[in-house]
Structure 1
Amino acid sequence: MALRTISAKSAAALDQELMSTGAFSIDQLMELAGLSVSQAVFKLQPLTAGKRILIACGPGNNGGDGLVAARHLFHYGYHPTIYYPKQPRNELYQRLRKQLEDLRVPFTDDFHTAIKSTDHVVDAIFGFSFSGEVREPFPKVIEALRETEVPVLAVDAPSSWGVDEGPPAEGPGKGFMPQALISLTAPKPLVKWFKGRHFLGGRFLSPEMAEKYGLDVPEYEGLDQVVEVEVEGQKL
């Protein structure tokens, strides 16, 4: 079954509705998203293929998803390292960092050195709400993601891509095509341009909410919080 996409505007409205009439807290949604990301990493990068996971986190919710994923990955037996150069003072993000510090998960300021000694990278810099110019220090980071031969999993959107317009025609993200993408809750229109493995995470939508936003809910297997999918209009 090919899945339909949801625009950035509708995705933002859906998030707000989940946190109002849906009765979810932002903590819950971030925990579910990060858990999904960690399971996608587990499918893409088995422990036997290398345990070192570098997670690049941005200052917003996408970065928070990456922090949650790191905690789960640690407990699976991986060795995550966090690149988190712009850390908000929001209490939620501070708590997520503290949880990782208590596990002695290392944080690095040197992304370019860290990417040379890792087995897999999670791009959790910018999500579906990104627009405008890529600001420092992220241009060089996105260029490194584009150039590396290490597999990259992008969270909800390859960083610097337009959610409705796809890959940029210029700038640090030009030519950036990660090996895998995990769409959270529902695929965004950018997946039409994506050519790697594509996962969906977000096994919590009610049938009523899915129907209201015109979303397809695929069959998840067993305990899995992710499922590999194709998308309507996507060329595989």
Structure 2
Amino acid sequence: MRALEQAAVEQGATWAGLMEQAGLGVAQMAVHYIRRGARIVVLVGPGNNGGDGLVAARHLHDVGSAIQLYLWKRPFKPDDANHQHCRQRGIAELEAEYDPDRTALQAALQSADLVIDALLGAGISRPVVGELATIVETVNRVRMERGPICQVLAVDLPTGVDTETGMIHGVAINADVSVATGAIKRGMLFHPGRAAVGKIRMAPIGVPPHTLEAVMSELLTAEYARTLLPKRPSAAHKGLFGKVLIVGGSLHYPGAASLACAGAGRVGAGLVTLAAGRTVLGSGGRGPETTLLPVAESEWGTLGPNAVAEITKSMEGYQALLIGPGLGTAEPTKEFMRRFFGLQQPKARNQVGFLPHPATSASSESASVSLPPTVIDADGLNILASIEDWPDHLPHERCIFTPHPGEMRRLLKLDQLPADLTTCASGAAQAWGQVVVLKGATTIIAHPDGRTLIYDGSNPALATAGTGDVLAGAIAGLLAQGLSLFDAAALGVYLHGAAGVRVRDELGDAGALASDLLPQLPQAIRTLRGT
């Protein structure tokens, strides 16, 4: 954002003009939260964020609000034009250094209708401690005591929230709304800071949209997702909507594959087939719409390497493949994965296959097939993570990986993921040459070309076993309908999140099951279409 502002200045804008637009935008947003003549406390810090706060204070004063400035490390300077404008209007001031026990601050907060946090914003560079920490804690305490009577609005980000990662440095102000100036900052979208941000609003500052688009992640919204919906012509038949082959399920996890199959069907795939061991298929529990491909087991309920030939022989005619839900990580299943993806061969980016296994008669066969657009999820990812040099053997831009943070750590062979998850996901997508969906309270979709989408979909109702299987199935179902890897991943994430919102609204935050998402997926599509 600093680089973009600098570029705008080099193209003819001024720093004062950018700050004026930012502060005016904040003031215009604040008006929605106050009555005429409202009492407003503006917390003013030493940098540009404080300058935005002073501009907002001036505009709010001019429309009849009673303003109290609370200044932290911002002594008056004659060349501070925005501070000068406030003094010319007789706006009241308090300086934090003369209020060591925060008595004056607390008194001002007790009578305020709105508090504007312009202390640090995007300018945080170290933990919030000492004097600043006591200011933050005082604001949070009074906000809790007074409830909705006193709203807190943060300029850009609440003080204490990291701009890029959403980490909280020490303590952070808990805002009801944060007004992003110029562009939404990534840190606003990631936990734990996301909980402190509140509602997110925008205040444009004059940076050209095409300049922003060149360097920023994009937010995955309903408007974006709507453009991705596959067409459903009235004279269509099931063959137009593609066939999905799902390889998954094991003795201990038969339900995961069933959820994935239902997810693919519920987003509109024409036909869904489950390839699994005969024991697994015999356990039932699937919808009657799912067709079955029984394949060889190595042992009871465990997919083994002899299943490779049966699956590759049957794969022709399928437009999408999903492998991994409930697959298990038994050694025979690992051997299946190694052979299926050719992970024992010299790298071959355009083919998948398996090597003969010298110990069995079946292993004297060999096969290779073109890999259709493929989603690799759950145990499929865990098995890949245990194999050296796997990225060299997968055809580039043919797969979507859908890891949660634990699976991502294993794939990257890290003890802990870096705080900047967007850069982490983007770097992995570029290094592997595959689309990556890094799942979480905030989900990132990353393309090998560097594009990233962020879905702000925090929802505790989705924090239950099986919801990831539904998502993987939904993405595969959209792939089968002809969407590109990146578009299928994006639309799948959005529809999954939208269905989760409907479940939460109906059932609440706790007690929902992954299967509750399934009937809500077509409802989410219907809402997105506006029908």
Aligned to 1:79: 66
Shift in Å, 1:203: 4.9
Which residue, out of 172, 175, 180, partners 2:177? 180
Shift in Å, 1:26: 0.8
1:152 aligns to what SS in structure 2?
Answer: strand
1:56 aligns to what SS in structure 2?
Answer: strand
Shift in Å, 1:92: 4.6
Shift in Å, 1:67: 0.3
Shift in Å, 1:88: 5.5
Shift in Å, 1:148: 2.3
Structure 2 Cα separation of the partners of residues 63 and 101 of structure 1: 15
Change (3 A) 1:85 1:214: closer
The one-letter amino acid of 1:140's match is T
The one-letter amino acid of 2:5's match is D
Change (3 A) 1:51 1:90: same
Structure 2 Cα separation of the partners of residues 216 and 46 of structure 1: 34
2:122 is aligned with 1:120: no
Structure 2 counterparts to residues 77-226 of structure 1, below 5 A: 77-87=64-74, 92-93=79-80, 95-109=81-95, 110-149=104-143, 150-168=150-168, 171-173=170-172, 176-192=173-189, 193=191, 194-195=194-195, 196-214=198-216
Q: Contact conserved, 1:51 with 1:79, CA < 8 A, in 2? A: yes
Shift in Å, 1:210: 2.9
Q: Contact conserved, 2:121 with 2:154, CA < 8 A, in 1? A: no
Shift in Å, 1:143: 0.8
1:137 aligns to what SS in structure 2?
Answer: helix
Q: Contact conserved, 2:49 with 2:123, CA < 8 A, in 1? A: no
Shift in Å, 1:57: 0.6
Structure 2 counterparts to residues 20-31 of structure 1, below 5 A: 20=10, 22-31=11-20
Structure 1 Cα separation of the partners of residues 165 and 213 of structure 2: 25
The one-letter amino acid of 1:208's match is H
Q: Contact conserved, 2:78 with 2:84, CA < 8 A, in 1? A: no
Aligned to 1:228: none
Largest Rg, 1 or 2: 2
- For residues 16-70 of structure 1, give each alpha carbon's deviation from its aligned partner in whole angstroms, at most 9, with x where no partner exists: 11111x31111001100100110111012232xx610000010000000000000
Aligned to 1:68: 55
Shift in Å, 1:142: 0.7
Shift in Å, 1:113: 2.2
Point out which structure has higher relative CO (alpha carbons under 8 A, 6+ apart): 1
Structure 1 stretch displaced more, 71-80 or 131-140: 131-140
Change (3 A) 1:200 1:85: same
TM-score (normalizing by structure 2): 0.37
2:41 aligns to what SS in structure 1?
Answer: strand
Q: Contact conserved, 1:123 with 1:154, CA < 8 A, in 2? A: yes
Q: Contact conserved, 1:52 with 1:80, CA < 8 A, in 2? A: yes
Structure 2 Cα separation of the partners of residues 28 and 164 of structure 1: 25
Structure 1 Cα separation of the partners of residues 128 and 216 of structure 2: 31
Q: Contact conserved, 1:186 with 1:215, CA < 8 A, in 2? A: no
Across the aligned residues of Structure 1 and Structure 2, the Cα RMSD in angstroms comes to 2.4
Aligned to 2:21: 32
Structure 2 Cα separation of the partners of residues 61 and 166 of structure 1: 20
Change (3 A) 1:62 1:212: same
Structure 1 stretch displaced more, 59-68 or 134-143: 134-143
1:65 aligns to what SS in structure 2?
Answer: helix
Q: Contact conserved, 1:140 with 1:172, CA < 8 A, in 2? A: no
Q: Contact conserved, 1:158 with 1:178, CA < 8 A, in 2? A: yes
Q: Contact conserved, 2:40 with 2:115, CA < 8 A, in 1? A: yes
1:122 aligns to what SS in structure 2?
Answer: strand
2:232 is aligned with 1:233: no
Q: Contact conserved, 1:158 with 1:181, CA < 8 A, in 2? A: yes
Structure 2 Cα separation of the partners of residues 51 and 184 of structure 1: 23
Structure 2 Cα separation of the partners of residues 78 and 57 of structure 1: 17
Q: Contact conserved, 1:210 with 1:216, CA < 8 A, in 2? A: no
Change (3 A) 1:208 1:186: same
1:74 aligns to what SS in structure 2?
Answer: helix
Unmatched segments (≥5 aa) in structure 1: 1-10, 219-230
Change (3 A) 1:147 1:69: same
Q: Contact conserved, 1:27 with 1:92, CA < 8 A, in 2? A: no
Q: Give the share of equivalent positions with the same residue, in percent.
A: 28
Q: Contact conserved, 1:154 with 1:182, CA < 8 A, in 2? A: yes
2:121 aligns to what SS in structure 1?
Answer: coil
Unmatched segments (≥5 aa) in structure 2: 96-103, 144-149, 222-452, 459-531
Change (3 A) 1:207 1:189: closer
Count how many residue pairs are aligned between Structure 1 and Structure 2.
Answer: 207
Q: Contact conserved, 2:5 with 2:207, CA < 8 A, in 1? A: no
Structure 1 stretch displaced more, 84-93 or 181-190: 84-93
Structure 2 Cα separation of the partners of residues 46 and 92 of structure 1: 33
Give 4+ residue runs of structure 1 displaced > 3 Å after superposition.
88-92, 214-218
